[in-house]
């Protein structure tokens, strides 16, 4: 089996270590490098302080074959990366005239004369491969592995600039320096509202012991991703291994458990839209505690206009009665968070929108509003179709955001299982709050 080259990522910027911004650069870079056959052994961050950046670089350089550094290439006094990197690689900085001209043209297109302080961004280490910036001002660069150093890729901080820059660098320069990378295939199976512990029990022996394949579970508030990863000397070998592992997972868990498979970023709303579209059916939504989160998840899916007729966010009792026609007697005697209320909400939404299906939700998201009878996390979800109306009760854990996210995932899975004629009674009461 081909050994994957090691990669490390260093993000620089005081705003990162001060907690003002999440380090999304490291997250995206890790995914890109993993997909290209590298093994990311770690990422770190350093503030805009030369000594700390230099120490972070020296630590990272000792443990990788490829080092990617983002940030610190701008024109201000705290942009010190180019000087530190040129010093560590023992290369003087030289003016790259093409990079300078591109910056001047960019300012000219905006009708502004470029401040001469920006010229420093065109100072690059001698002999580097320049990564010209067509999307901003600061160019990046690649330095080869010499003096015991790894391959270095220096990139500006803003993702709209470095991502296309890196894409070009990978194809033109970087991948050629690592010709023996393994080929990876990743296939993801998506499960909703099923205990992670149950899946673990069924698949425990598949987590290790198989050459060239890896299985991991990623769980978040009712959505479990079963990631199947396979490596091979070529795509055919990797795909064959992942197909074999997929078949075994499906055999053990049953095909009906999965609401989708394939890409990593699919969610229950994607699967629901695809299912409705495949059947030529439509849906309406009536939401209370989720505040339109289900409608947003559905309408985030391209093509959802074909299947989504209408939605209501009836947060108050008055709105439920006025806009959906929920009987005031139900609201007065049983309350908005009740089986009767969500049944009425779903039925009325389906009728008014003239949709094939409707989903309703009402609950206590917290942190206040709970009672002994209906504590925070109490959620009722209704589903209405031509064959009648059903209601499901859950008691979710976690904060306001968690309760809403659990509710969205539960609602999508309930309507999917109902549309497919699958069991709805086995859906879990959440076992984790993260």
What is the mean predicted confidence (pLDDT) over 325-345? 98
Nearest-angstrom CA–CA distance, 15 and 180:
37
Q: Does the pLDDT of residue 115 top 90, yes or no?
A: yes
Look at residues 378, 371, 369 and name the one whose alpha carbon lies nearest to residue 396.
Answer: 378
What is the mean predicted confidence (pLDDT) over 412-420? 96
40-49, 99-108, 205-214: least confidently modelled range:
205-214
SS3 percent helix, strand, coil of the chain, rounded to 5, is: 40, 25, 35
- Note the pLDDT of residue 434: 35
Q: Does the pLDDT of residue 209 top 80, yes or no?
A: no
pTM: 0.86
- Note the pLDDT of residue 215: 96
pLDDT in tens, 34-49: 999 999 999 999 999 9
Q: Does the pLDDT of residue 211 top 90, yes or no?
A: no
- Note the pLDDT of residue 433: 36
Nearest-angstrom CA–CA distance, 119 and 415:
59
Question: What domains lie within the chain, and their CATH numbers?
Answer: 6-177 (3.40.980.10), 183-262 (3.30.70.2860), 269-419 (3.90.950.20)
Burial class (CB in 10 A: 0-12, 13-18, 19+), 397: middle
Nearest-angstrom CA–CA distance, 392 and 411:
9
- Note the pLDDT of residue 424: 85
* H helix count then E strand count, the chain: 14, 17
- What is the three-state SS of 140-154? EEEECCCCCCCEEEE
- Mean pLDDT (the chain) is 94
pLDDT in tens, 146-184: 888 999 999 999 999 999 999 999 999 999 999 989 999
- Note the pLDDT of residue 287: 98
Contact (CB, 8 A) for 308 and 283:
yes
Q: Does the pLDDT of residue 431 top 80, yes or no?
A: no
pLDDT in tens, 366-399: 999 999 999 999 999 999 999 999 999 999 999 9
- Note the pLDDT of residue 426: 62
Contact (CB, 8 A) for 88 and 128:
no
Q: Does the pLDDT of residue 343 top 90, yes or no?
A: yes
21-25, 333-337, 390-394, 430-434: least confidently modelled range:
430-434
Query: Which residues make Cβ contacts (< 8 Å) with residue 281, sequence separation at least 6?
Result: 307, 356, 357, 419
Q: Does the pLDDT of residue 1 top 60, yes or no?
A: no
- Note the pLDDT of residue 425: 76
pLDDT in tens, 241-300: 999 999 999 999 999 999 999 888 899 999 999 999 999 999 999 999 999 999 999 999
């Amino acid at each position: 089996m081909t050994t994957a080259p090691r990669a490390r990522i260093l993000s620089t910027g005081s705003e990162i270590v001060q907690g003002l911004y999440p380090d999304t650069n490291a997250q995206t870079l890790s995914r890109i490098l993993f997909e290209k056959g590298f093994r990311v052994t770690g990422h770190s961050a350093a503030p805009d302080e030369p000594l700390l950046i230099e120490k972070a670089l020296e630590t990272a350089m000792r443990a990788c074959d490829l080092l990617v550094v983002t940030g610190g290439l701008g024109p201000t006094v705290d942009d010190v990366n180019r000087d530190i990197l040129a010093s560590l690689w023992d290369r003087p900085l030289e003016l790259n005239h093409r990079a300078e001209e591109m910056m001047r043209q960019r300012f000219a297109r905006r009708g502004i004369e470029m401040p001469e302080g920006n010229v420093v961004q065109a100072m690059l280490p001698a002999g580097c491969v320049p990564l010209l910036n067509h999307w901003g001002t600061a160019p990046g660069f690649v330095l080869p592995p010499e003096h015991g150093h790894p391959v270095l890729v220096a990139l500006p901080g803003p993702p709209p600039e470095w991502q296309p820059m890196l894409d070009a660098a990978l194809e033109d320069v970087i991948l050629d320096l690592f010709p023996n990378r393994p080929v990876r295939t990743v296939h993801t199976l998506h499960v909703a509202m099923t205990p992670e512990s149950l899946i673990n029990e069924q698949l425990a022996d598949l987590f290790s012991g198989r050459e060239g394949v890896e299985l991991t579970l990623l769980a978040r508030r009712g959505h479990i991703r079963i990631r199947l990863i396979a490596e091979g000397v070529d795509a055919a070998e990797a795909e064959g291994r992942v197909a074999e592992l997929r078949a075994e997972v499906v055999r053990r868990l049953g095909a009906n458990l999965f609401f989708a498979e394939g890409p990593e970023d699919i969610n229950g709303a994607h699967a629901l839209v695809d299912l409705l579209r495949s059947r030529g059916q439509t849906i309406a939504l009536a939401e209370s505690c989720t505040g339109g989160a289900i409608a947003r998840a559905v309408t985030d899916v391209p093509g959802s206009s074909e299947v989504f007729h209408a939605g209501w966010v009836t947060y108050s009792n008055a709105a439920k009665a006025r806009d959906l026609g929920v009987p005031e007697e139900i609201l007065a005697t049983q309350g908005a968070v009740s089986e009767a209320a969500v049944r009425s909400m779903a039925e009325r939404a389906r009728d008014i929108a003239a949709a094939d299906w409707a989903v309703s939700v009402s609950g206590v998201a917290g942190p206040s509003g709970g009672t002994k009878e209906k504590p925070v996390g109490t959620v009722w979800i209704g589903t209405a179709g031509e064959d009648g109306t059903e209601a499901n009760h859950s008691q979710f854990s976690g904060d306001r955001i968690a309760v809403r996210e659990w509710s969205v995932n539960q609602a999508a899975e309930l309507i999917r299982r109902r549309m497919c004629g699958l069991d709805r009674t086995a859906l879990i009461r959440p076992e984790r709050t993260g």
